[in-house]
Structure 1
Amino acid sequence: MPQCLIVPQHIWNRDCDAGTIELWTLEHIFDPWKTISTAAMQKYPNRMNLNVVGIDVLDRHTDPSGKLCSHRLLSTESGLPLTLKSLIGAARTPNHICKNIL
């Protein structure tokens, strides 16, 4: 008994001849620069990553080529119990310098 394959209309590639199926498509929509730069600068702290407890901007400028450069100080907190932190000497909040170029 012959079997039929029913393919929805949106899968058929309209740019090709009838009977040709588009198996894979790659598409990327670039968001506006304002959205990208705002999201990058407001990424931390957030409720989904509780390890970053604070962030301070040390320097932010636009270089001659138009790239946004930012140096930030991130204060982090590990998820270790207090007793283990005191044993390994990690009772204080570690800080990290983060350099972003957008």
Structure 2
Amino acid sequence: MVKFYKSFYTHQHDFSTFSVAYFLRYPNPYAKHVISVDTLDRYVDEQGRLHTHRLVIKRGKLPKWSQVLLASSGINISESLILETSIIDPKNQIILAETKNIDFTRIMRVVETSTFRGALAADQKTPVVKAFTTVSFLSSFGFGSVKERLESWGQSKMSENLARSQKGMAFVMDRLREQGGKIKAFQHAMQREIEPL
């Protein structure tokens, strides 16, 4: 049975800053589990929308009780491959994004879809970005109760994961704003922030 998690959040930054920060969000102090990010493909379509496919390698983490079952099946998960696809529409101020694991999908397939939309805050003056995220969890590992427990565990961890992701984005956007949007200055500043970690 598929489990779902839904979240709505408002980022207190303008769409332009957010869309640049989206691609620069790794590394940051709240994403220490991210090992590497590589761009596989990027192009602009006839409508002026930027399409990007990236491969993200993250350290994997599953509940301790499941590790015994996986070890008995000869499975050791220390890293996971994530495919990230995004479409940025600057004219309409919308980002459509999807991330999904492309390995260990039998154990747990996690698909996260997000829509980020530029908007105005309640004062109708301050630009913000409204984010709506849906995450699905589907396990095909083992039998009934094992699958159910894995899916429930994934669902229960999502709130914590998204909170960390939101803090990471805010951190990156604040540093980007401090550097006046200058990418090289931002990257040097981020390197100084991350190195001691």
- Normalising by structure 1, we get a TM-score of 0.55
CA drift of 1:79 comes to 4.0
Aligned position for 1:31:
14
CA RMSD of aligned residues (A): 2.9
Question: Residue 55 of structure 2 aligns with which residue?
Answer: 73
Aligned to 1:94: 80
Query: How far has the Cα of 1:62 moved from its partner?
Result: 1.3
What amino acid sits opposite 1:95 in the alignment? Answer: L
* 2:14 aligned partner, one-letter code: D
Which is richer in helix? 2
- Tell me, what secondary structure is at the counterpart of 2:19? helix
Query: 2:79 aligns to what SS in structure 1?
Result: coil
Give the distance between the partners of 1:47 and 1:54, measured in 2 at CA.
Answer: 14
Corresponding residue for residue 56 of structure 1 = 38
Contact in 1 for aligned 2:60/2:77 (Cα 8 Å):
no
Opposite residue 31 of structure 1, the aligned amino acid is: D
Percent identity over paired residues: 28
* Runs of 4+ residues over 4 Å off in structure 1: none
Question: Alignment length, in residue pairs?
Answer: 72
Query: Unaligned stretches of 5+ in structure 1?
Result: 1-28
Give the structure with the higher percent strand. 2
Q: Structure 1 residues 36, 90: closer, same or farther in 2, change over 3 A?
A: same
TM-score (norm. length: structure 2)? 0.31
Q: Deviations over 1:37-70 (max 9, x none)?
A: 2101012232202222211000111111111111
Deviations 1:74-93 (A, max 9, x none): 10102458xx4872623442
Relative contact order, higher structure (CA 8 A, sep 6+)? 2
CA contact (8 A) 1:51 1:79 kept: no
Q: Name 1:5's counterpart in structure 2.
A: none
Q: 2:23 aligns with which of 41, 64, 69?
A: 41
The higher radius of gyration belongs to 1
Query: Tell me, which stretches of 5 or more residues in structure 2 are unaligned?
Result: 1-11, 89-197
